[in-house]
């Protein structure tokens, strides 16, 4: 029997987030790589908005916020500038936080744990990494010496800066911490510590509990059928 469409609604978001994670460093070196990356990023926003489509008020807000984010990113390609970069990064970070809160509300609603809720929880975890990446990028724009890295990036290459901060964000979120990029300023260190704590609490408290409840519900349903 086919699953209802709602049962796999958030799977598209997980797949698009992972696809964007893999494809971004590959296409950014191409001639029109930045444009392609922005198109893929827009597709991720569409997937996130689609996940909120059953909730009409959130869906309308997501459409408006996503449209502003796409416009800001487009303007940044045409007229690159420090303050436009900061605005774009801040807006994207706020947009991601909006999606995280909306998805978390869905995950915590009701008592039945479905695979769709687990996909939504995974999406939130991945979005955490992206949100902190743009927060780090904003700190780096405001404080050029906020991070110390073994490799150098051109000051005008904002895409490379974002990818570098994305890498640092995810190794911090997972507490891997290779040490090739180090937070130097107080603001950067505070953000890094908060991300590491948030990532560990989220995995151990929420995701593990959801998976456990889902298995328990599945076993209970199998017992009743037997």
pLDDT in tens, 156-185: 677 788 889 999 999 999 988 788 899 999
Distance CA 17, CA 136 (A): 19
Mean pLDDT of the chain: 80
Residue 208 backbone dihedrals phi, psi, to 5 degrees: -60, -40
Task: Place 45 in a pLDDT band, splitting at 50, 70 and 90.
Answer: confident
What is the structure's pLDDT at 173?
A: 93
Q: Is pLDDT above 90 for 2? A: no
Structural domains in the chain, sorted by start:
5-225 (1.10.287.70)
What is the structure's pLDDT at 32?
A: 62
Least confident range from 53-57, 149-153, 169-173: namely: 53-57
Indicate the SS3 state at residue 157.
coil
What is the structure's pLDDT at 221?
A: 52
Least confident range from 55-59, 72-76, 138-142: namely: 55-59
What is the structure's pLDDT at 88?
A: 85
Indicate the SS3 state at residue 162.
helix
Q: CB count, 10 Å around CB of 43? A: 14
Q: Where do the DSSP E strands lie in 45-91?
A: none
Q: Which residue has the tokens 């978390």?
A: 104
CB 106 within 8 A of CB 89: no
Q: Which of 128, 127, 103, 129 lies closest to 117, judged by CA?
A: 103
Q: Which of 208, 44, 45 lies closest to 122, judged by CA?
A: 208
Q: Is pLDDT above 50 for 225? A: yes
3-state helix, strand, coil in the chain (%, to 5): 75, 5, 20
163 has which bridge partners? none
């Amino acid at each position: 029997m086919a699953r209802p469409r709602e049962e796999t609604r958030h799977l598209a978001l997980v797949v698009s987030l992972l696809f964007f994670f893999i494809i971004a460093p590959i296409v950014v070196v191409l001639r029109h790589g930045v444009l392609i990356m922005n198109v893929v990023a827009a597709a991720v926003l569409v997937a996130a908005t689609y996940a909120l489509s059953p909730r009409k008020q959130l869906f309308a807000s997501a459409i408006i916020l996503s449209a502003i984010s796409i416009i800001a990113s487009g303007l940044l390609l045409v007229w690159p500038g420090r303050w436009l970069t900061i605005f774009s990064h801040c807006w994207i970070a706020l947009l991601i936080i909006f999606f995280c809160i909306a998805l978390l509300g869905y995950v915590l609603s009701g008592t039945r744990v479905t695979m769709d809720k687990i996909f939504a929880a995974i999406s939130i975890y991945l979005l955490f990494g992206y949100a902190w990446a743009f927060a780090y990028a904003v700190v780096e724009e405001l404080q050029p010496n906020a991070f110390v890295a073994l490799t150098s990036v051109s000051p005008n290459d904002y895409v490379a800066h974002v990818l570098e901060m994305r890498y640092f964000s995810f190794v911090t979120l997972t507490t891997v911490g290779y040490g090739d990029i180090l937070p130097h300023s107080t603001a950067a260190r505070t953000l890094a510590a908060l991300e590491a704590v948030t990532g560990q609490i989220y995995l151990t408290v929420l995701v593990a509990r959801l998976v456990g409840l889902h298995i328990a519900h599945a076993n209970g349903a199998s017992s009743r059928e037997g």
